[in-house]
Amino acid sequence: MKKQAYEIDMCSDPLMPKLLLFAVPLMLSGILQLLFNAADMIIIGRYGQMAEQGLAAIGATSSMINFFVNVAIGISVGSNVIVARYYGGHRPKDIHDAVHTSVLLSFFLGLGIGLLAMFLSRPILIKMATPEDVLEQAALYVRIYFAGLPVMMLYNFGSAILRAVGDTKRPLYYLSAAGVLNVILNIFFVRGLHMNVEGVALATVISQGVSAFLVLRCLARSEGAYRLILRDLKIHPRIVKQILRIGLPAGVQGMIFSISNMLIQSSVNSFGSTAMAGNTACQSLEGFVYTSMNAFYQTAISFTSQNLGGGKYGRINKILGSCLFLVTTVGLVMGNLFYFFGKELLGLYTEESSVINYGLLRMEVILTTYCLCGIMDVLCGSIRGLGYGILPMIVSLIGACGFRVVWIFTLFRSYHTLTNLYISYPVSWTITALAHIICFIIVRRKLPKKDFPEPVTGSPSEAHC
């Protein structure tokens, strides 16, 4: 298949420039998205009615939102892996079927999960011990947010398809346009119409609708095998099975990760709304580091999948090694820089010194060690790129989620401090990363060491597809 202008051939040298060419737009996309999300909180924190409660309300919902959203986004990883593998193996018919199945699947997932989340949001917030002065605003925010979940899923699955063929630039452009609109609408709703968290949520849903439209239009105008043709939209059971085999474990993993994070958020809630606000502001800043590192998780998945599909087995270890080097460098540099300038950065969200001090407390533990999280994710991504969904899920759930839950109900209960609560993160990242290394070695030994002389074509066996 002829390469288009935005596509990247992941199966040939040089490797490092192509990794960066793929990852940097992903990093910029994530950073831009978080800048726009940070703008939400800055506008609420400075101009919203009951600013501290509004900021705490958004923070109180983040782990619950992730609980539902991560299921669908995890399944989009399955679409990315399958499309990338077919693309690397030069299988246009399978690419066509995978694209149209993915788009339709994303809409139904968003609709079903969104309705369920809207129904369950308030009871979950109550179970999380959300303070009374925050509860109503938090419940209103998530109901509006989840109403827009179908369009959010269309954007995520559409972007996953473009990443599979090496295109990370156009999603960046679309996200930029939608993000600017989001900020404009935030100012209009909150400052102009004197709305509070409902204005921020409404701006988010509208901007996500714009980004979904742009990415779908991009697919519809593409010339390759991944072109979207509306009349061809159809659920192909064999494609769904392959997507779910890889993506559903990733979604379940993200969901259960969110349960452990909800337990941690509930523990933070026990320290009051001021601690919640500081924790929220720090989490927003952490997001910039995490999304930068997560770009290399996505890179590891796509590059590993394409090279597996193309029979380029000799490049798999090089991809992992290069991604680990890059994610460690980014995590160390960004995490420690953010901590060094923590007081100034937290001051963008609030002028309350007590809120800033709570934020600095979290920064000291988590941001300085955040590269460990990136290492863990890249190892997990490489295993997923090789077509294994359940193995990295089990390792992550036991090593990270299970460990944190045990920590909360044992050490945290004995030493009830925020510092002790936050330490559970770097310890769990280290344990899980070590387990992933062992799993990758075992999985890699099952594959040939040398490349196939020609790209894999036709319908290879399950071991190669």
Query: Looking at the domain assignment, is residue 464 inside a domain?
Result: no
Of 271, 380, 285, which Cα lies nearest the Cα of 327? 380
Asked whether residue 38 carries a pLDDT value surpassing 80, the answer given is: no
pLDDT in tens, 228-252: 998 988 999 999 998 888 888 888 8
Q: In sequence order, what DSSP letters do the residues of 360-413 get, joined into one string?
A: HHHHHHHGGGTHHHHHHHHHHHHHHHTT--HHHHHHHIIIIIIHHHHHHHTHHH
Across residues 43-54, what is the average pLDDT?
A: 61
pLDDT of residue 188: 87
Query: Looking at the domain assignment, is residue 163 inside a domain?
Result: yes
Percent of the chain predicted with pLDDT > 70: 90
Residue 3 binned pLDDT confidence (cut-offs 50, 70, 90): low
* Window from 54-58, 118-122, 138-142, 272-276 with minimum mean pLDDT: 54-58
Across residues 27-54, what is the average pLDDT?
A: 69
Q: Higher pLDDT residue, 195 or 76?
A: 76
pLDDT of residue 289: 92
Asked whether residue 408 carries a pLDDT value surpassing 60, the answer given is: yes
d(CA 280, CA 302): 32
CA dihedral 447, 452, 454, 456 (to 10 degrees): -20
Query: Looking at the domain assignment, is residue 110 inside a domain?
Result: yes
Task: Print burial letters for 140-166: b (CB count within 10 Å at least 16), e (below 16).
Answer: bbbbbbbbbbbbbbbbbbbbbbbbbbb
pLDDT in tens, 121-141: 788 778 776 777 777 778 888
d(CA 337, CA 342): 8
59 by Cβ neighbours in 10 Å (0-12 / 13-18 / 19+) ranks as: buried
Task: Give residue 161's domain range.
Answer: 15-444
Whether residue 14 is preceded by a cis peptide bond, meaning omega within 30 degrees of 0, is: yes
pLDDT in tens, 176-220: 888 889 888 888 887 777 777 778 888 888 998 999 999 999 999
Query: Looking at the domain assignment, is residue 449 inside a domain?
Result: no
Please state whether the predicted TM-score (pTM) of the whole model is above 0.85.
Answer: no
**DSSP code at position 188:** I
Residue 440 binned pLDDT confidence (cut-offs 50, 70, 90): very high
Structure token digits, residue 61: 């919902």
Three-state DSSP state, 125: helix
Q: Are 69 and 148 in contact (CB under 8 A)?
A: no
Of 284, 209, 305, which Cα lies nearest the Cα of 8? 305
Query: Looking at the domain assignment, is residue 8 inside a domain?
Result: no
Share in percent of the chain as helix, strand, coil (round to 5): 80, 0, 20
Q: Are 215 and 158 in contact (CB under 8 A)?
A: yes
Asked whether residue 99 carries a pLDDT value surpassing 50, the answer given is: yes
Overall domain count for the chain: 1
- Identify which of 60-69, 324-333, 447-456 has the greatest average pLDDT: 324-333
Largest CA distance in the chain: 66
How many Cβ atoms sit within 10 Å of the Cβ of residue 354? 13
Residue 47 binned pLDDT confidence (cut-offs 50, 70, 90): low
- Average pLDDT of the chain, as a whole number: 84
Structure token digits, residue 433: 């990363």
pLDDT of residue 199: 82
Question: Sign of dihedral through CA atoms 125, 157, 44, 32?
Answer: positive
Query: Looking at the domain assignment, is residue 10 inside a domain?
Result: no
pLDDT of residue 1: 46
Query: Looking at the domain assignment, is residue 453 inside a domain?
Result: no
Query: Looking at the domain assignment, is residue 131 inside a domain?
Result: yes
d(CA 464, CA 447): 9
Cα-Cα end-to-end distance for the chain: 18
Structure token digits, residue 271: 């320290």
d(CA 206, CA 187): 14
**DSSP code at position 369:** G
